[in-house]
Amino acid sequence: MAEKNRGWIVTFSGTGINLALGVLYTWSVIKGSIPDSWGWDAASKALPYSVACLIFSLAMIPAGRLQDKIGPRWVATIGGILVGVGCLVSGAMGSSLVGFVIGFGVFCGLGFGFGYASATPPAVKWFPPSKTGMIAGLVVAGFGLASVYIAPLASYLLNAFSTVTESGVVEKGISSTMIVFGIGFCVVVVLLSQLLQNPPPGYVPAGASPGTPGKPSAAASINVHWMEMLKDPQFYVLWLMYFCGAGVGLMIIGTASQLGKASLGANAFWAVAVLAIGNAGGRILAGLVSDKIGRQATLMLAYLLQALMVILLIFVQKEAALLLLIILLAGANYGANLSLFPSAAKDFFGLKNFGLNYGILFTAWGIGGFVLPFIHGKIQDAVKAGSSIDPNISFYMASALLLAAAALTFVSTMLAKRQAAKVLLNKQTALA
């Protein structure tokens, strides 16, 4: 009973850490408050966020390796300190784009990677394979849900710390807001990190079974080294799917507040909060569904629905109720990626090297989050400069990428069946 309770303590501690680290998703609120006097164009406003996503994903590799070696507690603690330092640097550097790229982009990005890499692996290790999707979904739901409270909090602090320039222009208190975030989230993450713990050696979760031949769960006994994983075609199919799903989702998240301005006005930050509810709910729901019908089938459904939501976003921006509904569903479909891909990494590549293996796979999230929001920003700059380019072309491109990812789920399924048949044949040969 004590061990079972420990598993839930680790799970909800990981959720709490991600709730704090989810400050990443408030960038659209911060970005929308950057005054004209700073001289940042749309691409510049997307840059700290894009760099943070990229560094986040790259940091997952050494962080995953470290947590596999020394355990999650210290790695998550380092993450909390780095996020705190990053927010403080951003706040101290005023209107400097370089300061925000270094502070929010590099330091916070590193902190997100170290904290996030340490939250899911210890939690899923306490539970049987049949609950992998659910537990992974619960832990990562914290990151998605964070904007529900951080977006209104950021809006409140930005207004509370606002100042009036000599010319009478009100400018939001971005610097002070970042400093408050830095101190608060550092304390929260460091304290919760002390509750993270891997199971003892030889621990077997209650209800664990060897799995059924031909199903990904049979991979529970597989422990693939990262070098072997990079030789597996399944890894590259999963990477491409993750790149498409995460990149599109992060593009929407980075622009959610702007999408809501036409119909929500000053309350546009609620678009961020609604997206966060969908983001978190999608992670939990997708995890539960995938435990029943499989990762690939769940991903296919999510990608097809997301492709439709992205196109609809073009036409509903002036209708508040419809816009919030579409953003809710878009958030849910994006969130599905964040519970399904760690679960798939465990299914196909095992638990022993889970931290490092998932860290490598997670680079797809970061590169997607760097490339697509940056392209979207460049397109918006071109339109603002008078280009005749269609301002919605990035949404059409995103929808096409999602359809391609949906098609790749069939390739992933084929590879999984082929690998399962190979494992079964090897077992039969050994028995003979």
Please give the mean pLDDT across all residues of the chain: 85
Percentage of the chain exceeding pLDDT 90: 36
pLDDT digit string, tens, across residues 70-86? 889 999 999 999 999 99
Q: Which residues of 313-330 are buried (b: 16+ CB within 10 A; e: fewer)?
A: beebbeebeebbbbbbbb
| pLDDT tens digits along 235-249 | 999 999 999 999 998
> Please, are residues 147 and 25 in contact by the beta-carbon 8 Å criterion?
yes
Task: With a cut of 60, say whether residue 393 has pLDDT above it.
Answer: yes
Q: Where do the domains of the chain lie, and which CATH numbers do they carry?
A: 7-198+214-431 (1.20.1250.20)
Comparison of pLDDT for 279 and 106, the residue scoring more:
106
pLDDT digits (tens, 9 = 90+) for 56-74: 888 989 998 898 888 899 9
Q: What is the pLDDT of residue 85?
A: 96
- Give the integer Cα–Cα distance in Å for 203 and 168: 65
Confidence at residue 217, expressed as pLDDT on a 0 to 100 scale: 45
Q: How confident is the model at residue 402 (pLDDT cuts 50, 70, 90)?
A: very high
pLDDT (tens digit, 9 = 90+) per residue, 146-169? 877 887 888 899 999 988 877 777
Which position has the higher pLDDT, 294 or 318? 294
Say whether pLDDT at 361 is over 90: yes
